[in-house]
A and B are shown apart, each in its own frame.
Chain A
Amino acid sequence: MKILVCISHVPDTTSKINFIEGDTKFDTNGVQFVINPNDEFGLTRAMWFKEKQGASVDVVNVGGPETEPTLRKALAIGADNAIRVNTEATDGFYVARQLAKVVQEGGYDLVIAGRESIDYNGGMVPGMIAALTGTSFVNTCIGIEVEGDTATTIREIDGGKETSTVKLPLVVGGQKGLVEESDLRIPNMRGIMMARKKPLTVVDPIDANQETKAVQFEKPAPKGDVTLVDADNIDQLVELLHNEAKVI
């Protein structure tokens, strides 16, 4: 089985978010970048396929040279090959078109991409890859097993889950549940050393339109102070929620 895991290079979940150049650009100063958490669950699941069922695992990212440490980390975790499409990842549609080409050329049986990145939260790349390549697609995937050419998937639905079967090739939008948080791997020294020797291929982008553009950023308005209610006066909380907040 040939697996491709799409990796987004995103600010660490604890990052403070600030903008520069008249709020038109994300301020990367002092920000630690990581593998997008939704992608990391998929990467770890891919490692299990590799170890238990003998799959090969490629990772791909659309981004500039500054994203390479993130790809190297994926190699250190155990991916075999990395591909970087050398262009700035701005619009999700544009990114999906770049990735669709990599998917088509690589002949993958399974493509795993996080259901959304935690920076732009576009939530469109996995579905668009599937649609652009005419592949089957399961979003918000929280479980997958493959036997022969058939996958059994579990997807999260509002208020529950749904189990399906589908023939490969398949694109999944992954998230926590594919593996658990405790299953995630921290690269060890051997992995890091080996990752240096693994191939990281840089490919040129294809010509594609930017269909959307984030032209301006805003931070939420500062929040007022909390209104504290005495633990012995819960009546007051009910009253405030009813009369002031008008939510009950």
Chain B
Amino acid sequence: MTDTELRQAGTPAPATGPDGSPGRPGHPRTRRRRFGPDTTKGTVAKIVLLGLVDALAVYVLMMLFLSESWGALAVSSAVVLAINWIYLRKGGLPAKYLAPGVLFLLVFQVFVVLFSGYIAFTNYGDGHNSTKDDAIAAIQLTAQKRVPDSPAYKTAVLAKGNSFYLLFTDPDGKISLGSTEAPLEAAAGAGKDSTGKANALDGYRTLTFQEIVANQQQILGITVPVSSDPADGTLRTADGSNAYQFKPALSYDAAADTFTDTDSGAVYRDNGKGAFAASNGETLTTGWKIDVGMENFARAFTDPSLRGPLLGVILWTFTFAVASVALTFAMGMFLAMTFNREDLRGKKVYRILMILPYAFPAFLSGLVWSGILNPQFGWLNQTLLGGATIGWLTDPVLAKISVLVVNLWLGFPYMFLVCTGALQSLPAELDEAARMDGAGPWRVFRSIKLPLLLVSIAPLLISSFAFNFNNFNVIFMLTGGGPRFADTDRDIGATDILITLVYKVAFGQGTGRDYGLASALAIIIFIIVATVSAISFKQTKALEDVNS
């Protein structure tokens, strides 16, 4: 029994098998015939397509030039040149067919993986997402205090497009306009009301009181810089009618590279970890991105709020992946054996109905099951069990079982289809010969059919393992990873697998985003999956196929 036979059995096309493929020993290269010349239509199409691509490329390069991203500009220019070279030169045909797919593959699969590797060694995340200069400016802007004797600026709220502006009238009657992005500027020709307060400006719409109330959050968030130097402070309004001057509560000393609290006099220095820290260890919330070496990995396995839960998650990820493969395969194989009878009535109907879960979108399955299993209102507790309150999704053990059952529901049709295909490709003589020798049905299955089937199905079981190892949708849609562990304040739960943990650490609600740690966890997944697949592929010799 070889792989070829299985493919022939399962493929409707005229199957010459890999032996019909070119380049095997016995097909000398020199005898290969040349392709005919390009047609005129083809050449025109090529020129038009390449022209469009180049036009787009020139636009992208110009934008990169304007934004002064020199590194990206150099790489992009090289790519554009390479593309033109590939398609304009004579010969090099394989490259012409491979280039588009490979380009996307390199950027969005290979590069992003390498980039993940880089992020894993930084402290990138909330509070550490830019350069030190940006952080200094941001600290000066955010840490502001109202100047004690600040005069009141009469204020009107104006709108232009979707953004809001504040129109100030200072105590001397000088009128100026500004918003968070636009520092204060003198405004000429403003309309005034009876009290001398400017309330209208050409090109802008004055907001009514109701509109101000409706957009309160945005308006209160406006901080108008007095000048382009952040040290000069800002103007803010608390009610939409009066504004006061605010000054940085922390003053930056560029020479010493320190921040000084204007009240307490406490000095914050660069602590070498991408933040300013006072001598008592207190740090300012806004920091910057630095390389931290192995710290993210070290933190994952030493931080007490992370170590215990993370080990639990890794263990459960393996359990979940292995159990999912084992359960779906066992059920699929059992069903394939059960329905592998030509003369069974209703076989086709069973088959169609049974593969329906496979056709149902996976992300919806998790959500639908979460309704059925909902402990308070779900169908299982309310209707089938008559008002029981079993925590199908809230008890750590039951939640794990629920996840496995739902994944079994999602996965068994696939295994059923595949096992049926593989089973039907086994020659019937095997069965007869074994029975002639007196083997019972179980013995035939155990000693003859299963080993033969495993040869062709093993690579698929490995793929299935790799898939379930990162089966985000089932977990996230069904339990969201919960119930949460009690021994940590982080959002980690009993059914979390590594990939849901990565997602929560990087983009979760509540706790701050920590891209560095999330990438470090992703790298751990990479290493695990790579190791497991390398070992198992070596064993099944699936790679032999490639050597043709």
Partners in one complex: no
Interface residues of chain A, those whose CB is within 8 Å of chain B, are: none
Interface residues of chain B, those whose CB is within 8 Å of chain A, are: none
